[in-house]
């Protein structure tokens, strides 16, 4: 078996991405500062940054004053140098996002659905893509690819996750229609209709990836991302990169059994919008329809009760995550309303204080939170094309 190694071209690509990442984190950084932080030679930095300027991925925003000799230029990301397009297909919505190269959201579109079929998903996605094309016009050729974020097991646990009464009356037919999502056919369809490379990930992984590319200077490099939507899932991030495990299933938090089964046998059922919907219905209350309505004080008690019960359902599983992985933080993103998410975090931190001997890391709201799925999808093409992933440096080892 050959050992893994790297070529000079692979090293150049990695260094290029390292520089892009630094400029993204520190706008108006100088070449001198890049050298100080990377250890690369001045000549290497000059060659790479000149190439990035020529590709219009960077632009010059001024000069550093006060230094002897020729002033050093300030470099920043050229927002219009590249774009990432993302489609998020979930059990309760289909959305699209367009990010510019700085990570700013240029366009965000969403359509409500309930467990979409192939035909409906394609129709909505095509409409969303057409709107993105109209927005970009001649800059469409700067789109680096299309990201697809979607949940795993779309056709599973329908008895507990489906809340639409009409669909509940025909669960067998719905399950049959949703088998389409067991394949990667939609991924290939997106690539065909857009002419772009499609990058597909589970929604939790896509959301965690958005934290990596759009991270601030102080963001963690080792964290566990908990993504809550109609169901929930998770993703491990280790040393600044998503960790997938031997079969790609690392971080499948939703597939851990819940503590008591009160809100569902599996955590994906208990910690979910579906669970919240069922809890409100059991208490003869309708879910608030707007963000401001969730702030109404008459919902405070039921929100607090649900958050407390669910925090106990996930307590052993989160303690196991901490014991086995030791993350700097646990980030929660997804589609839980803000008051529910805030209450959940409070109860999780309270319950974990009495569980286990290890210190429990801070639990925080992810920076993209409610739109984490679709922004994560839009990040995927930018991340795969420009982020400094260490596997770029290595040739695949092959048996001969």
pLDDT tens digits, one per residue of 89-113: 999 999 999 999 999 999 999 999 9
Q: Are residues 356 and 237 in the same domain?
A: yes
Residues 6+ apart with CB under 8 A from 387: 17, 21, 212, 213
199 with 262, same domain: the answer is: no
Number of folded domains that form the chain: 3
Do 121 and 199 have their domain in common?
A: yes
Q: What would the pLDDT profile of 174-192 be if each residue is shown by its tens digit?
A: 999 999 999 999 999 999 9
On the question of pLDDT at 213 being above 90, the answer is no
pTM of the model: 0.90
Q: Identify the pLDDT of residue 4.
A: 41
- 48 Cβ partners below 8 Å, 6+ apart? 12, 15, 16, 19, 40
The Cα–Cα gap between 181 and 177 comes to 9
Domain match, 173 and 100 both:
yes
Q: What range defines the domain where residue 68 resides?
A: 8-77
Contact in structure between 143 and 83 (CB atoms under 8 Å): yes
**Which of 45, 77, 109 is the last residue in one of the domains?**
77
Give the helix/strand (H/E) hosting 76: strand 72-77
How many whole angstroms separate alpha carbon 58 and alpha carbon 233?
36
Contact criterion met (CB below 8 Å) for 100 and 106: yes
State how far the Cα of 285 lies from the Cα of 269, in Å rounded to an integer. Answer: 20
Q: Considering the domain boundaries, does residue 393 fall inside one?
A: no
Lowest mean pLDDT among 74-78, 230-234, 277-281, 391-395: 391-395
396 domain-assigned = no
Coil, strand, or helix at residue 237? strand
Q: Are residues 274 and 150 in the same domain?
A: no
9-18, 150-159, 172-181, 267-276: which has the minimum mean pLDDT?
Answer: 9-18
Residues 380 and 362 grouped into a single domain: no
Share of the chain above pLDDT 70, in %: 92
Yes or no: say if 312 and 259 are a contact pair by the CB < 8 Å rule: yes
pLDDT in tens, 336-374: 999 999 999 999 999 998 777 889 999 999 988 789 999
Reported as a single tens digit per residue, the pLDDT across 3-51 is: 344 457 778 888 998 999 889 888 999 999 999 998 989 899 999 999 9
- Give the helix/strand (H/E) hosting 59: strand 58-64
Assess whether 103 and 71 both reside in one domain: no
Residue-wise pLDDT for 277-316, tens only, equals 999 999 999 999 888 999 999 999 999 999 999 999 999 9
- Mean pLDDT throughout 200-217? 85
Higher pLDDT residue, 217 or 86? 86
226 with 352, same domain: the answer is: yes
Question: Does residue 391 sit within a domain?
Answer: no
Phi/psi at 86 (nearest 5 deg)? -130, 145
DSSP 101: T
**Torsion-angle region of 16 (φ positive above 0: left; ψ -120 to 50: alpha; else: beta):** alpha
Residues 255 and 321 placed together within one structural domain of the fold: yes
CATH of the domain at 137: 3.30.420.40
pLDDT at 392 over 60: no
Q: Which two tokens stand for residue 374?
A: 């679709």
């Amino acid at each position: 078996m050959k050992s893994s190694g790297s070529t000079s071209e692979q090293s150049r690509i990695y260094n290029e991405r390292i520089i892009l990442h630094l400029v993204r984190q520190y706008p108006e950084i100088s070449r001198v500062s890049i050298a100080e932080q990377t250890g690369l030679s001045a000549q290497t930095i000059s060659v790479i940054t000149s190439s990035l300027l020529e590709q219009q991925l960077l632009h010059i925003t001024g000069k550093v004053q006060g230094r002897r000799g020729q002033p050093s230029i300030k470099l920043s990301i050229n927002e219009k140098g590249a774009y990432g397009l993302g489609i998020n297909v979930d059990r309760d919505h289909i959305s699209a996002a367009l990010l510019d190269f700085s990570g700013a959201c240029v366009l965000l579109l969403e359509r409500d659905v309930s467990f979409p079929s192939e035909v409906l998903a394609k129709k909505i996605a095509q409409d969303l893509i057409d709107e993105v094309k109209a927005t970009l016009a001649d800059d469409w050729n700067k789109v680096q690819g299309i990201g697809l974020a979607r949940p795993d097991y779309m056709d599973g646990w329908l008895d507990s996750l489906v809340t639409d009464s009409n669909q509940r009356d025909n669960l067998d037919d719905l399950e049959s229609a949703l088998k389409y999502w067991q394949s990667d056919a939609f991924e290939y369809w997106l690539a065909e209709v857009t002419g772009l490379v499609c990058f597909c990930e589970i929604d939790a992984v896509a959301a965690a990836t958005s934290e990596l590319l759009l991270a601030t200077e102080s963001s963690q490099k080792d964290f566990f991302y908990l993504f809550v939507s109609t169901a929930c899932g998770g993703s491990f991030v280790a040393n600044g990169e998503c960790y997938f495990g031997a079969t790609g299933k690392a971080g499948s938090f939703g597939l851990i059994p819940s503590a008591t089964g009160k809100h569902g046998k599996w955590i994906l059922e208990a910690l979910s919008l579906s669970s919240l919907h069922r809890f409100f219905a059991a208490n003869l209350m309708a879910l608030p329809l707007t963000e401001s309505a969730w702030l109404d004080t008459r919902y405070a008690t039921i929100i607090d009760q649900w958050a407390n019960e669910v925090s106990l359902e996930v307590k052993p599983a989160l303690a196991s995550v901490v014991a086995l992985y030791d993350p700097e933080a646990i980030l929660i993103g997804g589609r839980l309303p803000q008051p529910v998410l805030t209450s959940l975090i409070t109860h999780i931190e309270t319950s974990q204080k009495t569980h286990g001997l290890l210190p429990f890391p801070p639990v925080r709201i992810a920076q993209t939170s409610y739109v984490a799925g679709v922004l994560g999808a839009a990040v995927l093409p930018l991340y795969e094309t420009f982020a400094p992933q260490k596997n770029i440096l290595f040739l695949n080892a092959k048996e001969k």
